[in-house]
Structure 1
Amino acid sequence: MRLTLLPLLAVALHSVPVCAADDLATALKQPILTLEQSAKQAAEFVVKRIPKLEQADSAEAWQRDAEALRQKVLEEVVFKGVPAKWRGGQPRVEWLDVIETERGYKIKKLRYEALPGLWIPALLYEPDQLHGKMPAVLNVNGHDSNGKSADYKQLRCINLAKRGILALNTEWLRMGELQGSAYSHDDLATLDLCGVSGLSVFYLAMSRGLDVLTTHPHTDLDRVAMTGLSGGGWQTIILSSLDKRIKVSIPVAGYSSLTQRVLHHDSIGDLEQNPTDLVQSADYVHLTALLTPRPALLIYNRTDNCCFKSPTVRPNTYEPVVPFYQQAGAAEAFEYYENTDPGTHNYELDNRQQLYRFLTKHWSLENSDAAEIPSNDEIMAAEELTVGVPANNTNFRILAEEVAQRLPRELPGTANERRQLLKQILRWDDRTIAGEPQGEPTTVGDLTVSRVLIRDEDWSLPAVMVAPENFTASVMFIADSGFANHADEIAKLAGEGKRVVSFDPVLMGAAQPPGSLYQHAQLIATVGARPLGIQASQILAAVRLANQHFETQGLNVLARGPRSSLAALCADALDTDNQIAAVETAELPETLKAYLREGRKYNRTPETYCFGLLEYFDLPQLRAMGQAEK
């Protein structure tokens, strides 16, 4: 590793260090890295890693490229590490009660098994008159606690059935009948930690619903569509782009190119919408291009009060794909609609009528009128539409704990092989660090405080050195909440005669950009990097630099908090030349398996859910690797 000498200068004062912790806290909180700088570098890190959408030389060439990309996303993202038994065969389906509406359609209650032990409730809106092959629509929903019983979703399914269309209305995880923390979307991270794609649970919940719909004896396989609002729009683009059984796609206010979401944080979404490594392979604009030449109508709302405001989406998500449809001779099949009535986050009348219009345009329907058939008096209460799920219906944490029973796997035989495996999991990059002094050192009591902005290839980070006179040792101090919030402990260490060097790794303390910690972690991981790997590499680089500057043989690292503690252990495990003398951690459990249990939240410690870490490395293995190098 190449290092640039960091100009931290210790100024000798007199004998015993004395300072007021409050005064030191004031000194440590002097800004070194501004919020604007932090936000800018976080955005740049992500944006420069988003792949560009490139048009092929011909429509035929694009179809070949599209199929290769489709398989890459499925195997390297959606189904990475997924047990074969989750994917194989047709789903089990239980058909239950039937509601005879006497309005030209019936509602059949059913539940299907998305993967072993996970049952999804659903409703099939079936026309009373079944004849030959009929069109079918998979209706999914987003973040609406009413789930499948939402009024606007019922009206849509009723209208489709009255138009001679089979309409399957599926429940979504944590909505409707599947409400509750057991189905929290971010809990997919528990599977990620075990090396099993948590995204697969969402995908299978959709694709198994499609299995049910396409195996109906009256379904016309050439006329199968999918639609949904918000998270339902996200489901629509994911499944439609990767499963060509969907012939017509109508996502509503559900997704955008990652470039849009980097600029508009209200559009970032949950973890399933930014899954690990997805955008390393394909941004959402690529997924949109995968629809070519199948008919697709993208609906967005001008003044959306949730996410994906139409004017911010069209230039980066729709317009780049228009040439693909033109090249395929299907320009009329690709449409964009901006809703202004009401213009907020909705799948209300205007947007529903756009759905009917678009289906009528591309299919031969019994009712070709795009106007909605009045059906408000047919809306039912959620209780009437309840299907029921088994009491022992599985969830993310149960699935993760089942996988974790066999983890961690046996490690490779040699120390170098183990290090290389850990580097692969962390997406490790050796980092070069340089520093810029921020003004002259200042005195606080009998201590000298030096402030420095350190830089690696991607990040600028705040750093300080707190030095007493006649110090007898040096230590590195890092903390989840940042060094500025630990003045008491830093003062105590200085009072013990220790020179304290401290910095905030990325996403910690003053190096955390404005906004949600977990969303920044998601964005970093979806473009192929690992926040934990970046932090660990920064810690090792900073320790190496300090040793070089101080002419010391090894530095003790004191970490405060589970995030910094895990990063320090990873740095120590990959320290091949004893730059780190020892690591002292705090607030770490005995095992990473603790993060699979109820009460642990992804959004509090997103780095600890690094994809595949527990598959080979639990905390005892990491500690043993670090100690073995000493």
Structure 2
Amino acid sequence: MRLTLLVLLAVALESVHVCAADDLATALKQPILTSEQSAKQAADFVVKRIPKLQQADSAEAWQRDAEALRLKVLEEVVFKGVPAKWREGQPRVEWLDVIETGHGYKIKKLRYEALPGLWIPALLYEPDKLDGKVPAVLNVNGHDSNGKSADYKQLRCINLAKRGILALNTEWLRMGELRGSAYSHDDLATLDLCGVSGLSVFYLAMSRGLDVLTSQPHADLDRVAMTGLSGGGWQTIILSSLDTRIKVSIPVAGYSSLTQRVIHHDSIGDLEQNPTDLVKYADYVHLTALLTPRPALLIYNRTDNCCFKSPTVRPNTYEPVVPFYQQAGAADAFEYYENTDPGTHNYELDNRQQLYRFLTKHWSLENGDAAEIASNDEIMTAEELTVGVPANNTNFRVLAEEVAQRLPRELTGTADERRQLLKQILRWEDRNISAEPQGEPTTVGELTVSRVLVRDDDWSLPAVMVAPENFTESVMFIADSGFANHADEIAKLAGEGKRVVSFDPVLMGAAQPPGSLYQHAQLIATVGARPLGIQASQILAAVRLANQHFETQSLQVLARGPRSSLAALCADALDAENQIAAVEAAELPETLKAYLREGRKYNRTPETYCFGLLEYFDLPQLRAMGQAEK
């Protein structure tokens, strides 16, 4: 009988706790920061950091500025931290089978080494009759699983060859013969974490292809062009703007100014298209201006069903660059074309004929007719065009793990010098925050719930304080999914006599704007900030404010989830004033090197892949820094 009463009492108490937790969950989910406010502040943060394109006093002055900007982007973005052996010398090339088509051109199969161990399959479409120097076109492709065998790409290369042009058709990472998760574009983040630009892999895959094309004995180096659709359009603007060996550029539906993409999220793109720090130095409109005075045709589609709808791009990507070409006396060399047939995301007949027309306009071609030469019967299967790659062809994660073998680097110097280095990596900004009460406190059972909006110069963040009647200590609680989803644990902590202060750092909980988490993180990083650094500085500032308000010396931080846990460890490592008593982290591996391995996804924890963090600081080092002063 006594046992039965105890069981009933336990069930009753648990029911009371569940009811209290349910009531608290309702209270915590009352909106403090709306999704519209969250979206606006994220957009504002990015937009105000986008550099403005400014025209130089003269065409000659712009060329000097342009060369300096190219060098800055190459050294500080594309090749930052890249081993010298990746960049040195000419690429190794293996020439394989030749397909004699019998239609006035042949197809030479080849593969070239973009960097040590990474081979790129390619096809060289070569006219049967070659006399002297002829034009050459580098053909790249975008997010098409067919890769280099895509029908529209084959037709383009065939037509170029029939016009007496050398056409190199290269494979792109994750497409065609390089399909598979090993080449996932987001995996470039594994190299970023190690302090080696993951963008460099994409760039070298392009530039080494250009090396191969321009080394052909019949290639006219004064008539070299580049073109591609979607991700191929992105490749085209990146390489064309930074490598002046490209004399004519025809990107198709591949990019836009970042201002356009902040508004139109379907145009944000993948990580390589928003690489760390690129827009700190140059927005895509700057890259477009770097083409001046070389001929360039920007092609976009009016009703594009993927991205970069033409009407949304022209005002911010093309029109600002027109004065640069006018100043250079080359206004006729810069064109914009809006495709309406079919008007969707395409490089079909109308767009291809714009390519032929533009090349004919600027080069002397054997066939000056812009109409496409019928060649549909010459399209081959992917199997017929297979080149083959080595079984041990390297990939992002393998490259990152090779780099990580010597990481983190040994650090000498004082504790303050180590903190300064970590601040540089995190792009740390000390934050002064204020708290604005949102209405009167409410009562939930025996708990008092106060709702607060925390503000700094850039962000407004939702916060709550949950206090039992007779609390004995205070703690800070943060979580990846936001405090509103952790009512059970907050109620439990309050039941233990703890006053719980909780807020959502940027990109967490209610402070995560609508849309993809990883895309918001990309936008923040590409303009020169670091999401992890922002989160860590917000945590330390919130703890400092709480200590001032409560007149306490330090506060324990409880973090739930790998993202908030890493941010809390970084905040603790940079807490020279002992504002944080201790950090209780959850769901973190023993080492950041775990994020280099299969199964870890950039899009789930984008802040973790902070550029260069692992180069000097692994989790044991961060923990040791936080504990050193305690």
Structure 2: runs of 5 or more not aligned: none
- Cα gap change, 1:196/1:2 in structure 2, threshold over 3 Å: closer, same or farther? farther
* 3-state SS of paired residue (1:8): helix
Q: 1:249 to 1:451 in 2, by over 3 A?
A: same
Q: Deviations over 1:107-166 (max 9, x none)?
A: 000000000000000000000001100000000000000000000000000000000000
How far residue 629 of structure 1 moved from its aligned partner, in angstroms, is 1.5
Q: Are the aligned partners of 1:18 and 1:446 in contact in 2 as well (CA < 8 Å)?
A: no
- Give the Å deviation of 1:412: 3.0
Corresponding residue for 2:171? 171
Give the whole-Å Cα distance in 1 for the aligned partners of 2:600 and 2:497: 37
Q: Give 1:9 deviation, angstroms.
A: 34
Partner secondary structure for residue 449 of structure 1: strand
Change (3 A) 1:566 1:69: same
C-alpha deviation, 1:2, in angstroms: 59
TM-score for the superposition, normalised by structure 1: 0.97
Distance 1:622 1:131 in 2: 64
Q: Matches of 2:6 and 2:327 in 1, distance apart? A: 55
Range with bigger deviation, 9-18 or 404-413:
9-18
Residue 475 to residue 286, structure 1, CA distance change in 2 (3 Å) = same
Gap change, CA 1:10 and 1:612, over 3 Å in 2:
farther
Q: 1:286 to 1:517 in 2, by over 3 A?
A: same
TM-superposed deviation, 1:14: 20
* Secondary structure in structure 1 of the residue aligned to 2:557: strand
Cα distance, 1:249–1:463 mapped onto 2, change above 3 Å: same
**Where does residue 553 of structure 2 map in the other structure?**
553
* Counterpart Cα distance in 2 of 1:326 and 1:520: 36
Native 8 Å contact 1:110 1:387 kept in 2: yes
CA contact (8 A) 1:466 1:501 kept: yes
* DSSP-derived class of the 2:9 partner: coil
Distance 2:398 2:548 in 1: 48
Matched, 1:578 2:559: no
Distance 2:210 2:12 in 1: 73
- Cα–Cα, structure 1 residues 469 and 249, in superposed 2: closer, same or farther, change >3 Å? same
The 8 Å contact of residues 476 and 558 in structure 1, kept in 2 or not, is answered as yes
Q: 1:590 offset after TM fit, Å?
A: 0.1
Aligned to 2:96: 96
Alignment length (residue pairs): 630
Residues 15 and 291 (structure 1), Cα distance of their counterparts in 2 relative to 1, 3 Å cut: closer
Aligned residue for 1:428, secondary structure, equals coil
Q: Residue by residue, what CA displacement relative to the aligned partner does 1:33-89 show, whole Å, maximum 9, x if unpaired?
A: 000000000000000000000000000000000000000000000000000000000
Where do 1:71-82 residues align within 5 Å?
A: 71-82=71-82
Assess if the C-alpha contact under 8 Å between 1:80 and 1:195 holds in 2.
yes
* Residues in 2 aligned to 1:454 and 1:35: alpha-carbon distance in whole angstroms: 16
Matched position secondary structure for 1:30: coil
The yes-or-no answer on 1:314 pairing with 2:311 is no
Question: Match of 1:428?
Answer: 428
CA distance, structure 2, for counterparts of residue 66 and residue 553 of structure 1: 53
Q: Deviations over 1:194-222 (max 9, x none)?
A: 00000000000000000000000000000
TM-score by length of structure 2 reads 0.97
Distance 1:609 1:2, change over 3 A: farther
- Hey, what's the Cα distance between the residues in 1 that align with 2:459 and 2:125? 54
In structure 2, the partner of 1:461 is 461
Q: Offset of 1:257 from its aligned partner?
A: 0.1
Cα separation, 2, equivalents of 1:163 and 1:508? 55
User: Which whole-Å deviations, capped at 9, do the CAs of 1:242-273 have from their partners, x for residues lacking one?
Assistant: 00000000000000000000000000000000
Corresponding residue SS for 1:621: helix
CA separation of 1:353 and 1:211: change in aligned 2, threshold 3 A: same
Tell me, yes or no, if the aligned pair for 1:149 and 1:381 is still in contact at 8 Å: yes
CA distance 1:332–1:6, shift in 2 (3 Å): farther
Task: Check the 8 A contact 1:5/1:545 in 2, yes or no.
Answer: no
Q: With a CA cutoff of 8 Å and minimum separation of 6, indicate the structure with the bigger relative contact order.
A: 1
Alpha-carbon distance change, 18 to 50 in structure 1, aligned in 2, over 3 angstroms: same
Shift of 1:449: 0.5
2 CA distance for matches of 1:81 and 1:5? 68
Question: Structure 1 residues 4 and 215, CA, compared in 2 at 3 Å: closer, same or farther?
Answer: farther
* Deviation of the 1:410 alpha carbon: 0.9
Per-residue deviation, residues 462-484 of structure 1 (Å, max 9, x unmatched): 00000001100100000000000
Structure 1, unpaired ranges of 5+ = none
Alpha-carbon distance in structure 1 between the residues aligned to 2:610 and 2:8: 33
Asked if the contact 1:5/1:548 (under 8 Å) is kept, the reply is no
Cα pair 1:6 1:546 within 8 Å, conserved: no
State the alpha-carbon separation in 1 of the partners of residues 454 and 553 from structure 2: 22
Cα distance in structure 1, aligned partners of 2:184 and 2:589? 22
Query: CA 1:143/1:3 → structure 2, altered by over 3 Å: closer, same or farther?
Result: farther
2-structure distance, mates of 1:136, 1:589 = 50
Q: CA RMSD in A?
A: 6.2
User: Given that residues 7 and 435 in structure 1 are in contact (C-alpha distance below 8 angstroms), is that contact kept between their aligned partners in structure 2?
Assistant: no
- Three-state SS of the structure 1 residue aligned to 2:228 is strand
Q: Alpha carbons of 1:618 and 1:416: their partners in 2 closer, same or farther (altered >3 Å)?
A: same
The 1:140–1:529 alpha-carbon spacing in structure 2 relative to 1, beyond 3 Å, is same
Q: Note if contact 1:139-1:227 (Cα within 8 Å) is conserved in structure 2.
A: yes
CA pair 518-311 structure 1, distance change in 2 beyond 3 A: same
Question: SS in structure 1 opposite 2:32?
Answer: coil
Deviation at 1:372, TM superposition (A): 0.1
Distance change >3 Å, CA 120–CA 13, structure 1 → 2? closer
Distance 1:395 1:611, change over 3 A: same
Structure 1 9/158 Cα, relative in aligned 2: closer, same or farther at 3 Å? farther
Cα distance in structure 2, aligned partners of 1:492 and 1:375: 72
Residue 16 of structure 1: CA displacement? Answer: 12
**Residue in structure 1 matched with residue 58 of structure 2 by the alignment:** 58
Whether the 8 Å contact between 1:140 and 1:227 is mirrored in structure 2 is yes
Secondary structure at the counterpart of residue 17 of structure 1: helix
CA shift at 1:11, angstroms? 29
Structure 1 residues 608 and 8: alpha-carbon distance in aligned structure 2, compared to 1, 3 A threshold: farther
Alpha-carbon distance between aligned partners in 2 of 1:166 and 1:15, rounded to the nearest angstrom: 77
Distance 1:317 1:475 in 2: 49
SS at match of 2:114: strand
Cα–Cα, structure 1 residues 580 and 222, in superposed 2: closer, same or farther, change >3 Å? same
Please give the residue correspondences for 1:91-130 in structure 2 after superposition, counting only pairs within 5 Å.
91-130=91-130
Encode CA deviations 1:179-204: one digit per residue, 9 max, x unaligned.
00000000000000000000000000
Aligned 8 A contact 1:39 1:514 in 2 = yes
Identity of aligned residues (%): 93
Structure 1 distance, partners of 2:40, 2:118, is 42
Superimposed CA distance per residue, residues 483-526 of structure 1 (whole angstroms, 9 cap, x where no aligned partner): 00000000000010000000000000000000000000000000
Residue 20 of structure 1 and its aligned partner are, at CA, apart by 1.5
- Alignment CA distance shift 1:190-1:3 (3 Å): farther
1:316-339, Cα deviation, whole Å (9 max, x unpaired): 000000000000000000000000
> Is the alpha carbon distance of 1:541 and 1:9 closer, same or farther for their aligned partners in structure 2, counting shifts above 3 Å?
farther
Quick check: 1:17–1:445 contact (8 Å CA) kept in 2? no
Residue 20 of structure 1 aligns to a residue in which SS? Answer: helix
Contact 1:481 1:509 in 2 (8 A): yes
3-state SS, counterpart of residue 7 of structure 1: helix
Return the alpha-carbon distance in structure 1 between the equivalents of residues 10 and 331 of structure 2: 68
CA distance, structure 2, for counterparts of residue 8 and residue 192 of structure 1: 57
Moved more, 409-418 or 535-544: 409-418
- C-alpha separation between the residues in 2 aligned to 1:455 and 1:56? 39
Q: Report the 3-state secondary structure (helix = DSSP H, G, I; strand = E; otherwise coil) of the residue aligned with 1:121.
A: strand
